[in-house]
Structure 1
Amino acid sequence: MEPIDAHPLPPDVSFDGGDLDCGNGLLLLIRKHIDPLPRGGLLEIRSTEISVDEDLPAWCRLTGNELVSWTKVGRQRAFLVSKGALAERTAAATQPDQPKGADEGPTEVLLGAARQPVAAPRVPPLAVTSMGSWPRPRWMIEAMHAHVEGRLSTREFQQTADDAVRLAIAAQERAGVDIVTDGEQRRDSYASFVASRLDNCQLIPLTDLLPLVDHPEDFEAELRALDIPAADVRHPAVFGPLARSRPLVAHEVDFARSVTQRPVKVALPGPYLLTRTMWMECISDQAYASREDIAKDIVRVLREELAELMQTGAALVQFDEPVLSEVVFSGAKNKRSFMCGALSESRPPAEELAFARDLLNAVLEGFPRERLALHVCRGNWTPDEAVALSGSYEPLVDTLGQVRVGAYLLEMATPRAGDMAVLQRLPQDARIGVGVVNQKLQHAEAVNEVAERIQRAIDLFGQDRLLLHPDCGFATFADNPICGTHLAQDKLAVIAQAAERFR
């Protein structure tokens, strides 16, 4: 497309990217301004960087947005981009967005509102629970995309998610679990959703990161080999100092408790995972000097959230730290893994493990240990066992034992996790959650097979310390579930039936 003298249409939003190129922050600024627009909304990008002449049209083709026109006067360029196709533009596309918070759904609890503390129910021995995520109905996934793209209001999205949560909890109750989760129905994934809840942070498609890696073509090929839908997976981008002006997950617990009498568990991405996810060169360094700096704010917002979760009556608050496995296993095998956080800076394993331990303990300090849990697995983005990480807990167990949690919820059903006897080195006063079904297998395990795993765990840890669950979630990524709803329910039912033999 050749430059013209003037744009044929006025922009709805405009910003000046100066001399930034697409690999040094411009694409992130574009995403910041274009995501709030409705379909057909027009964004003007002003730039003095010559490489944008080629890179921006390529980005538009990659992301499905339309380059309407561009102008050039000396070094000054101005690009007019439609969010989606220009043909989608309607009268509504020119209407200003509602102010933040004006369209919050009925399940939102704004910070500062009075909250009556709720007592947390006790978690019994041999309690059965899912790890967290549950397959979303197709209409829930469609609502999620419509909300991100500005085609569905927050209120309508939350009401749709309420219905999906009711179905997820009902399925878990039918399976016979002792502790339910809300199925993470409101989240695009187990971790990156936090970007949509924090101030100065938002989700961007993984494809936007291609210009930031050293060899984009090789990276794309690796993603395809690892069975990763790069256009569907979104990654957090930080534009300024992180702040928490609304709950991250406390509203999920509030609603879940309103539709079940059973104890509720909630999962949060851990501070190390979030730090590795959010600290990326050429993105967050515009807001923070180092990953240690961003980690301080991540610890602060997680402590704020944890304090509120203690008041909601959550029976267990689970922190997910799967990137710990990437630290010790992917380098040894000299292959890339994919999980949120594995794409960013990594230092020698001993240094990374100590950093992760200290971040976790900084978040957990002072909170009731018996209500805190840590989950570690080896990746859960595909049912293909061959591309997931593999290795015993041996290089991790000492670090895990130094984290101040009251329970460890660990992948153990898959052969990739090694023998569970190494977990005897974990603190004797902590509970051990053992994965006894493999969510990646596309069939429900036999009750006898699961009962044998439970007996082995009882022999090692004692019945009173034991919790039972699948290795990981059934739908870690909303667009890429590991299995379907019926199979997920069948797998939980098998665990519940096997557990009954020991009660």
Structure 2
Amino acid sequence: MEPSAQHAYAPAVSFDGGDLDCGNGLLLLIRKHIDPLERGQLLEIQSTETSVEADLPAWCRMTGNQLVSWTKAGKRRSFLVSKGAFAGSADHADQPPQAEPEPETPEAARARAAIPIVAVTIPRTLPAPVAAPPIRPLSVMGIGSWPRPRWMLQALHDHMEGRLDEAAFQSSADDAVQLAVAAQQRAGVDVVTDGEQRRDSYASFVGGRLDNCQLIPLTDLLPYVDDPEAFEQELRALDVPAGEVRHPAVFGPLGRSRPLAAHELDYVRGLTAQPVKVALPGPYLLTRTMWMECVSDRAYASREALAADVVRVLREELAALLAQGAALVQFDEPVLSEVAFSGTTSQRSFMCGALSEKRDPVTELAFARDLLNAVVDGFPQERVAMHMCRGNWTTDESKAMAGDYRPLVETLAALNVGTLFLELYTPRAGEMAVLQRLPERQRIGVGLCNQKHAHVESLEEVLRKGEEAIRLFGAGRVLFNPDCGFATFADAPVSSARIAEAKLRTLAEAAAILRQRYGV
């Protein structure tokens, strides 16, 4: 598109990006201003950076937005972008074009375009855990997520894009949590979760809660990879809804001035006296997800420096959850399978947008082990857990990774957590016997159903798999769960609520039989 003499339409919102380029913060500013707009409304982006002429049209094509027009006067450029497709109307045309702003010095433009850094308050002491209902052997529970009602999905999108205020969003979420908890209770679970109803996904939601972190669609990150078009094709092949899945981007020192999930726990504990489990993204997952050169390195000199702050905020959250009576806090680390099964090759797998580079598997697994152990250090091991799987963004088993736990057993055994929730029902996970090398101090949450399958597993099959686990580990160490969550990504659930409830009911029936059979 050639530049116009002036824009034919007036924007709803305008901002000056100064000399920032798309790989150095401009996209974060665009996302901040375009999200609250209605579809078809116009955003004006002013810039003095030459590369934006080529990069912004490419970003528009990849994100489904439309570059309506652009102007150029000396070094200053003005781009008019529609959120989604734009159909010009008389209403817009009647508005006079905006006057060209007075020229600014480069220093003033950069200062005005800079993303503000939020002051971070670090608590001096962490609260102590309080007692919680015990989790008995052979307890049944979900991994975490539950399919959201359609109206809850709309509320999630409206809230993230600034069209629904906090109070209205939380009210909708409260209703959705009540439905999720009631379904679990009807199924007969022993431990409940809130179904992660307030989250856009099990991990990236922290981008909307942490200080100096912003949730942006995965497509916005395409300019940061070496070959955007190839990466976009990979995401399509992996069946990833890249325009809907959001990714946390760090643009300043991380802080936790509000809880990540403590408010979720507070509400669900008011609904039940049963033990409650809360899932959090693990420190390795968050570090791999958040560390992106040209974005994160504006705030952190290295991935390790970012990881130190990730550990700090997770320790603060863990302390708060245990102090509020969480029976179990589970840290999700699915990217461990990406490390173990993709090796040292450049193969990319979509493990919740873990786009950053990784080193050799031995180094990465040691890094992941040390990060999680740093988070849980000093907390009661029986109240902390870790979950991993091989991918849960699609029902197509061929798109997820495969491999038994052999290359991971040493790392799992060295984690200072009392429970490991593991994917074990799918054949992709290999033989359960590999896990006999795990220490006696660790309980094993055994995957006894495949959440990706629409059919409900037979009671006989679940009993057979459950008895195998009891023979290998002893009834006192075994818990029962699905392989993964039923709706890891809000917009891409792998099960319906009806199927999820039926699967958990079968697990609960099997657990009742096995408790009687083994006297636990």
Task: Calculate the TM-score normalised by the size of structure 1.
Answer: 0.90
Q: Is the 8 A contact 1:369 1:405 kept in 2?
A: yes
Residue 379 of structure 2 corresponds to residue 379 of structure 1: no
Q: Is the 8 A contact 1:410 1:471 kept in 2?
A: yes
Aligned to 1:441: 453
Residue 54 of structure 2 corresponds to residue 72 of structure 1: no
Aligned pairs for 1:125-144 (under 5 A) are 125-144=137-156
Q: In the aligned structure 1, how far is the partner of 2:289 from the partner of 2:127?
A: 31
Residue 45 of structure 2 corresponds to residue 45 of structure 1: yes
**TM-fit CA distance, 1:235:** 1.0
What is the letter of the counterpart of residue 10 of structure 2? L
Q: In the aligned structure 1, how far is the partner of 2:4 from the partner of 2:346?
A: 46
Q: In the aligned structure 2, how far is the partner of 1:443 from the partner of 1:158?
A: 33
CA, structure 1 residues 352+9, in 2 after alignment: closer, same or farther (shift >3 Å)? same
Residue 414 of structure 2 corresponds to residue 402 of structure 1: yes
Q: Secondary structure at the match of 2:343?
A: helix
Q: In the aligned structure 2, how far is the partner of 1:82 from the partner of 1:47?
A: 17
Q: In the aligned structure 1, how far is the partner of 2:394 from the partner of 2:39?
A: 31
**TM-fit CA distance, 1:62:** 3.5
Q: Deviations over 1:136-178 (max 9, x none)?
A: 1111111111111222111111111111110000000000000
Residue 239 of structure 2 corresponds to residue 227 of structure 1: yes
Bigger Cα Rg: 2
**TM-fit CA distance, 1:328:** 0.9
Q: In the aligned structure 2, how far is the partner of 1:341 from the partner of 1:425?
A: 31
Aligned to 1:286: 298
Q: In the aligned structure 2, how far is the partner of 1:188 from the partner of 1:223?
A: 18
Q: Secondary structure at the match of 2:448?
A: strand
Residue 510 of structure 2 corresponds to residue 498 of structure 1: yes
Aligned to 1:14: 15
- Counterpart of 2:478 (choices 458, 466, 476) is 466
Q: In the aligned structure 2, how far is the partner of 1:43 from the partner of 1:218?
A: 28
Q: In the aligned structure 2, how far is the partner of 1:207 from the partner of 1:480?
A: 16
Q: Deviations over 1:245-271 (max 9, x none)?
A: 100001111111111221110100000
**TM-fit CA distance, 1:36:** 4.8
CA, structure 1 residues 300+117, in 2 after alignment: closer, same or farther (shift >3 Å)? closer
Q: Deviations over 1:9-49 (max 9, x none)?
A: 3664423330x432443223322343355666654433222
CA, structure 1 residues 239+32, in 2 after alignment: closer, same or farther (shift >3 Å)? farther
Q: In the aligned structure 2, how far is the partner of 1:61 from the partner of 1:388?
A: 28
Further displaced range: 5-14 or 49-58:
5-14
Aligned to 1:98: none
Aligned residues: CA RMSD = 2.5
Aligned to 1:60: 60
What is the letter of the counterpart of residue 154 of structure 1? E
Q: Deviations over 1:173-219 (max 9, x none)?
A: 00000000000111111100110111111111111112222222221
- Counterpart of 1:162 (choices 174, 180, 198) is 174
- Counterpart of 1:306 (choices 318, 342, 356) is 318
Q: In the aligned structure 1, how far is the partner of 2:245 from the partner of 2:278?
A: 22
Aligned pairs for 1:269-280 (under 5 A) are 269-280=281-292
Q: Is the 8 A contact 1:278 1:284 kept in 2?
A: yes
Q: Is the 8 A contact 2:417 2:442 kept in 1?
A: yes
Aligned to 2:97: none
Q: In the aligned structure 1, how far is the partner of 2:25 from the partner of 2:278?
A: 34
Further displaced range: 332-341 or 72-81:
332-341
**TM-fit CA distance, 1:336:** 3.0
**TM-fit CA distance, 1:51:** 2.7
Q: Secondary structure at the match of 2:315?
A: helix
Q: In the aligned structure 2, how far is the partner of 1:224 from the partner of 1:70?
A: 30
Aligned pairs for 1:18-33 (under 5 A) are 18=19, 20-33=20-33
Further displaced range: 332-341 or 251-260:
332-341
Q: Secondary structure at the match of 1:437?
A: coil
What is the letter of the counterpart of residue 257 of structure 1? R
Q: Is the 8 A contact 1:323 1:341 kept in 2?
A: no
Aligned to 2:438: 426
Q: Is the 8 A contact 1:39 1:149 kept in 2?
A: no
CA, structure 1 residues 419+146, in 2 after alignment: closer, same or farther (shift >3 Å)? same
Task: Calculate the TM-score normalised by the size of structure 2.
Answer: 0.87
Aligned to 1:97: none
Q: In the aligned structure 1, how far is the partner of 2:43 from the partner of 2:18?
A: 12
Q: In the aligned structure 2, how far is the partner of 1:390 from the partner of 1:31?
A: 36
Q: Deviations over 1:287-341 (max 9, x none)?
A: 1111001111101100110110011111100000000000010237874321124
Q: 5+ residue gaps in structure 1?
A: 91-110
Q: 5+ residue gaps in structure 2?
A: 93-122, 516-520
CA, structure 1 residues 24+180, in 2 after alignment: closer, same or farther (shift >3 Å)? same
CA, structure 1 residues 37+10, in 2 after alignment: closer, same or farther (shift >3 Å)? closer
Q: In the aligned structure 2, how far is the partner of 1:151 from the partner of 1:140?
A: 14
Aligned to 1:355: 367
Q: Is the 8 A contact 2:218 2:353 kept in 1?
A: no
Identity level (%): 67
What is the letter of the counterpart of residue 71 of structure 1? T
CA, structure 1 residues 17+38, in 2 after alignment: closer, same or farther (shift >3 Å)? farther
Further displaced range: 147-156 or 277-286:
147-156
Q: In the aligned structure 1, how far is the partner of 2:84 from the partner of 2:428?
A: 42
CA, structure 1 residues 381+73, in 2 after alignment: closer, same or farther (shift >3 Å)? same
Q: In the aligned structure 2, how far is the partner of 1:10 from the partner of 1:145?
A: 23
Q: Is the 8 A contact 2:443 2:477 kept in 1?
A: yes
